[in-house]
């Protein structure tokens, strides 16, 4: 009986350890993916800002970057705000 309880306790300990490890791994993976998405978003916004500064048509910018036309319009009307957001 004592050895059965000891095995159960050891199994529970190992299960908790494995669950924590797997949870941390998933958390790290999600963090990396979120960072990649944020980097892509900023790169697209920087590119769009350069295109706006060059006087390109807003619809063309939207089409080439995949950014929503309303977002591109807002960027063209509020360039200082978007430059600050995309720096860094």
pLDDT of residue 2: 82
pLDDT mean over 71-84: 92
Stated pTM of the model: 0.67
pLDDT in tens, 10-48: 999 999 999 999 999 999 999 999 999 999 999 999 999
C-alpha separations of 64 from 14, 16, 20, 44, 49 in Å: 51, 48, 43, 10, 13
Closest residue by Cα to residue 72 from 84, 64, 82, 62? 62
pLDDT of residue 30: 96
């Amino acid at each position: 009986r004592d050895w059965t309880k000891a095995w159960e306790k050891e199994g529970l300990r190992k299960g908790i350890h494995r669950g924590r490890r797997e949870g941390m791994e998933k958390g790290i993976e999600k963090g990396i993916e979120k960072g990649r998405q944020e980097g892509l978003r900023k790169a697209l916004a920087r590119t769009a800002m350069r295109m706006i500064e060059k006087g390109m048509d807003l619809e063309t910018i939207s089409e080439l970057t995949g950014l929503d036309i309303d977002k591109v319009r807002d960027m063209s009307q509020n360039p200082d705000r978007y430059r600050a957001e995309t720096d860094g």
